[in-house]
Amino acid sequence: MMRTRPLKVALLGCGVVGSEVARIMTTHAADLAARIGAPVELAGVAVRRPDKVREGIDPALVTTDATALVKRGDIDVVVEVIGGIEPARTLITTAFAHGASVVSANKALIAQDGAALHAAAAEHGKDLYYEAAVAGAIPLIRPLRESLAGDKVNRVLGIVNGTTNFILDAMDSTGAGYQEALDEATALGYAEADPTADVEGFDAAAKAAILAGIAFHTRVRLDDVYREGMTEVTAADFASAKEMGCTIKLLAICERAADGGSVTARVHPAMIPLSHPLANVREAYNAVFVESEAAGQLMFYGPGAGGSPTASAVLGDLVAVCRNRIGGATGPGESAYAALPVSPMGDVVTRYHISLDVADKPGVLAQVATVFAEHGVSIDTVRQSGKDGEASLVVVTHRASDAALGGTVEALRKLDTVRGVASIMRVEGE
């Protein structure tokens, strides 16, 4: 039997995502009510520019006083899509204190202060859901914390930023340089006017922190995530990748150590074999590869950003939270019981592709090989080409720690026969 009293929803932010949330709530009101077991009512919309025309939203609901809105006391669920740290953090904790559960799409805030927000939700017996914070419409957080709750996740490997994937895909498919591909992404609306958060890996790092925390039942903050952007990736790197049967992606990688005693979380460009499922993720799409002990290998794929995809994830959370509200229960909160240490990047073990500019003369290869051996880094393959006294030497290693590789490169730079290190790229997805 359906409850007649509506559940009241406050919307914080009415931009690309917020306006789409409001539209779906209005146009699909009957379906949402049937799925929840009660009507849902948009009770207020907090914005910065109240005079802007917002199609389908009653102007009487619009306010610039977000604090007053979340303090009303009759609000059942607050949907936060304004982003950033403040005032979002204060508004969310205020909402909990005044009786509302929260649905958020705020990856930066969850990555930085997720533990404190979960604690505030638990203190007041309320829900905190944030499926939309990672990978847009792709169901990922709920499968990790609910569907795989009885399993042991060992690795999460994924493309979680559509802008960077579009740029790298364009470089791969057309041979374009980085700036040319970025200009195309900007013209098509995939990249912001200031693309720093995307291309320098900040966006993906926040998502990696969230995924690692859920997957490994451990608190992983944004500061724990190693981050390396993709602005230095060149057409020459793609040419080298193709010679190896690989392509290049900006990956978020969260791993449990082989002995199970620690975890790592990192974001950086990497070569992956063309045979790997992530190699075929094109344009602005996202995909995440999950490896667990019982379920094995799982892949989640779909649009990772945009108004409609992100709103889909928000509405999914809204339905779940409203159902909990009616049932007098709360959903899963933070699970950090494992409390595993987060290892530094120097401990990470992977393969490497190193391109060196060297003198084209006898003995150079032997000198380089000796340096690798002295630092305990085993060489898998070597390729050398050159003329007129200059040469390019490409070395692909077996698995080695980041610290060992760093020492190797430092020693290589001191050789008189090494003119420079053209590029260093990790190789993943074996």
Rounded Cα gap, residues 144 and 148, in angstroms: 5
The CA distances from residue 47 to 18, 41, 93, 388, 414, in Å, are 10, 18, 19, 65, 57
Catalytic residue among 152, 207, 249, 361: 207
Rounded Cα gap, residues 88 and 430, in angstroms: 40
Helix then strand then coil, in percent of the chain rounded to 5, is 40, 25, 35
Distance of alpha carbon 136 from its chain centroid, rounded? 10
Three-state DSSP at 63 gives strand
User: From start to end of 278-341, where are the E strands?
Assistant: 285-292, 296-303
DSSP string covering 232-257, please? T--HHHHHHHHHTTEEEEEEEEEEE-
Which two structure tokens, joined as six digits, stand for 269?
């460009």
Rg of the chain (C-alpha set): 24
Three-state DSSP at 344 gives coil
User: Angle at the Cα of 122 (from 117 to 123), degrees rounded to 5?
Assistant: 95
Cβ atoms 139, 312 nearer than 8 A: no
Rounded Cα gap, residues 75 and 87, in angstroms: 18
Please list the residues that pair with 324 across neighbouring strands.
none
Which two structure tokens, joined as six digits, stand for 382?
């070597």
207 is catalytic: yes
Rounded Cα gap, residues 312 and 28, in angstroms: 12
Cβ atoms 162, 226 nearer than 8 A: no
Rounded Cα gap, residues 189 and 283, in angstroms: 12
DSSP string covering 256-270, please? E-TTSS-EEEEEEEE
Rounded Cα gap, residues 422 and 66, in angstroms: 51
Which two structure tokens, joined as six digits, stand for 134?
């990672």
Which residues are known to be catalytic? 207
